[in-house]
Amino acid sequence: MTKALFIVDVQNDFTEGGALAVEGGDAVAERITEFVSAHADDYALVVASRDWHHPDHDNGGHFAVEGEPDFVDTWPAHCVAGTPGAEYDPGLDTAAVTHHVKKGQGVPAYSVFEGTTDDGRTVAELLAERGILDVDIAGIATDYCVRASALDAIEHGRRVRILTDLVAGVAPASSDAALAELAHAGAELAVTQP
């Protein structure tokens, strides 16, 4: 097998009731769980990423410490390491995850390629070690971290497929624009359920 699945940032702070809640996040968590339970054996790697920001720290200007966040470069505090908001959504079963990646540890980070495993390996290293050529991507948010992760995977020479029924975005217009951009960059847009 030369295929990997990226599960991007399916965390409590990005699903309903969280600091940066995305509508449909809980449903996406449950649909990813169903998909993985049926298809885990299709993948050599299942990589789940989490934002993992430092507490009491602006994380390289990522958190709006003074004034209101602009929701482009600055954000309310979210996914702070060790808090419930940073944990995976309870609807996401991580039993089949082979590698957990934490990103944004003190700096802004959107792509899974900016994170590391607990033993310090990067996603690029994981893909190279296993000879992974194809990457399927699911998660949150379509218009931010899913988009950034997919663009980086393409830049790293991988064939990318966005599982469009397993993503949720911040807003419909920006999510549609992100998917159009990804398709233009060479990603395949696919649906897991007919």
**38-90: per-residue pLDDT in tens?**
999 999 999 999 999 999 888 898 998 888 888 888 889 999 999 999 999 99
Cα angle 48-37-88, degrees, rounded to a multiple of 5:
35
Q: Which of 160, 131, 116 is nearest to 6 (CA)?
A: 160
CATH of residue 40 = 3.40.50.850
For 59-72, b/e burial (b = at least 16 CB within 10 A) is beebbbeeeebeee
Measured between alpha carbons, how far is 97 from 45 in angstroms, rounded to an integer?
Answer: 8
pLDDT of residue 153: 98
The answer to whether the CB of 61 falls within 8 A of the CB of 108 is yes
| This prediction's pTM | 0.96
Give the model confidence (pLDDT) of 125-180 as tens digits: 999 999 999 999 999 999 999 999 999 999 999 999 999 999 999 999 999 999 99
Give the model confidence (pLDDT) of 4-41 as tens digits: 999 999 999 999 999 999 999 999 999 999 999 999 99
Spatial strand order of the sheet with 134-140 comes to: 99-103, 45-51, 3-8, 134-140, 159-168, 188-190
Q: What percent of the chain has pLDDT over 90?
A: 86
Q: Which amino acid makes up residue 93?
A: D
Helix residue ranges per DSSP H, the chain: 25-39, 123-130, 147-155, 172-185
Our count of domains for the chain comes to 1
Measured between alpha carbons, how far is 64 from 58 in angstroms, rounded to an integer?
Answer: 7
Cβ–Cβ contacts within 10 Å for residue 18, how many?
Answer: 20
As given in the structure block, the two tokens for residue 129 are 């070690």
CA distances from 27 to 5, 14, 81 (A): 18, 12, 24
Q: How far apart are the first and last CA of the chain?
A: 24
**Catalytic residue positions, numbered:** 9, 103, 145
